[in-house]
Amino acid sequence: MVQEVVSSFKDLYGSVPRVFRSPGRINIIGEHTDYNGGFVLPAAINKELYFAVTPNTVKAFRFFAFDLNESAEIHCTNVTQQSSKTWTNYLLGVVAQLGKRGIAVGGVDVVVGGTIPIGAGISSSAAMECGFLFALNELFSLKLSTMEMVKMAQLAEHEFAGVKCGIMDQFAVMHGKKDHVMKLDCRSTAFSYSPLKLDNHSILLCDTAVKHTLASSEYNLRRQECELGVSIVAKRFPKILSLRDVSLDQLSACKNEMKPVTFDRCSYVIEENARLEATCVALQNNMLDVVGKMMYGSHEGLRDKYSVSCGELDLLVDLARSTPGVVGARMMGGGFGGCTINIVHNDAVKPFKDRVRKEYYKARRKQENIIEVAISDGTSEIS
Ligand code: GLA
């Protein structure tokens, strides 16, 4: 794929580009905890976007999206949110962030394309933002640190894509390390790497092949619901800054002061942070059965309390749960479509795939997309 992107660049612009790669991400557990000051456990994966890029002298951003076969040209003085060809917003969004810091970059020619399925919930958008910002940082020697770029890419998503996302996706895309998961404290941004040892097991993603339109509005609403919960609890317990600080006992003490739905959203987040801690301990001790139990618990919380699942995701998780050799499964990412993440014994990979093929993709006439994941490094230049 990278060769195709580079050839397309040479055909279009007639010069030799620098080439960068930017991966998608998975998250083992810790969903909707990032914007609540909690913890996440993501990793970058071997599905990636490739960027072929050079500066130009025409003072414009000339973009070509290889997979969409679409081009766009935006003058450097006109970096605004676009209502058509919305994929350009992920690129222009990071240019706007540079502008806010007083950094003006000249025009660039870009071809972007890759192997991350769009809308599958494995962060093609963060890969776009991070990959392009990383490339600009190198091309124009901007000397931004990786964490600065993560935060700028996150703001690009807020301001140009309209999703008030947490920091997980951009962090994971940039900081990924081959064969390792990262435990990130989303409040302090302190993190640690641990090797992911899954003896004889594989990680499989099953794409629902749906993305319900509520996804981004409901996402932003969940954020508000959690903030409301925090403001109620903080009246009684003033030291509380986010749900990360709240215990279930404290939440229960305030139960009568909030709507049942607020209570459910908050208790899900508190429980999910606890499940993440238990998962980390279990991974260290090779107790995959416990990891699996936590993953199913996470899915149930996301479905019943946080209300971000959907029928397609629930069906895929039910198929996983009732297939021998599948250790754990849950919806992954923001919800309302996208993928499930499954930990599957190697002997069960084929039977599981066959079953999902028959009972999900064929039964529902969906485009099949089952991804076997390898854990890779974060965004980098390809020499
Ligand atoms: C999306 C957001 C992340 C995170 C997840 C849910 O992927 O971009 O910041 O909130 O949803 O865990």
Pocket (CB within 6 angstroms of ligand 1): 31-32, 34-35, 165-166, 168-169, 333-334
Per-residue pLDDT at 81 = 95
Cα–ligand 1 centroid distance for 99 (angstroms): 26
Per-residue pLDDT at 109 = 98
Per-residue pLDDT at 216 = 81
Rg over alpha carbons for the chain, rounded to the nearest Å, is 21
Helix 311-321 vs helix 288-304: crossing angle, to nearest 10: 150
Instruction: Say whether 304 is catalytic.
Output: no
For residue 362, the tally of other CB atoms under 10 A from its CB is 11
Compute the distance between CA of residue 202 and CA of residue 223 in angstroms, rounded to an integer.
Answer: 32
| pLDDT beneath 50, residues of the chain | none
Structure tokens at 382: 């390809």
Per-residue pLDDT at 211 = 86
Residue 116 is classified by DSSP as P
Structure tokens at 176: 């990924």
Residue 158 is classified by DSSP as I
What stretch of H or E contains 298? helix 288-304
What SS3 class is residue 284? helix
Interior angle at CA 30, CA 25 and CA 36, nearest 5: 110
Residue 14 is classified by DSSP as -
Cα–ligand 1 centroid distance for 334 (angstroms): 5
Please say whether the beta carbons of 113 and 65 come within 8 A: yes
Per-residue pLDDT at 21 = 98
Q: Whose CA is nearest to atom 7 of ligand 1?
A: 333
Per-residue pLDDT at 324 = 98
Of 169, 179, 314, 318, the active-site residue reads: 169
- Tokens 């890759």 identify what position? 114
User: Strand runs (DSSP E) across the chain, as ranges?
Assistant: 18-27, 39-40, 42-55, 60-65, 70-75, 108-114, 180-185, 191-195, 201-211, 326-331, 337-345, 370-373, 380-382
Q: Whose CA is nearest to atom 2 of ligand 1?
A: 165
Ligand 1 site-directed mutation target among 29, 34, 331, 332, most atoms within 8 Å of CB: 34
Compute the distance between CA of residue 60 and CA of residue 56 in angstroms, rounded to an integer.
Answer: 8
What SS3 class is residue 54? strand
Cα–ligand 1 centroid distance for 34 (angstroms): 7
pTM for the predicted model, two decimal places:
0.96
Ligand 1 atom with the smallest distance to the CA of 219 is: 11
Ligand 1 site-directed mutation target among 169, 243, 331, most atoms within 8 Å of CB: 169
Residues recorded for the chain: 383
Cα–ligand 1 centroid distance for 351 (angstroms): 31
Structure tokens at 224: 């508000």
Ligand 1 atom with the smallest distance to the CA of 32 is: 12
Residue 375 is classified by DSSP as B
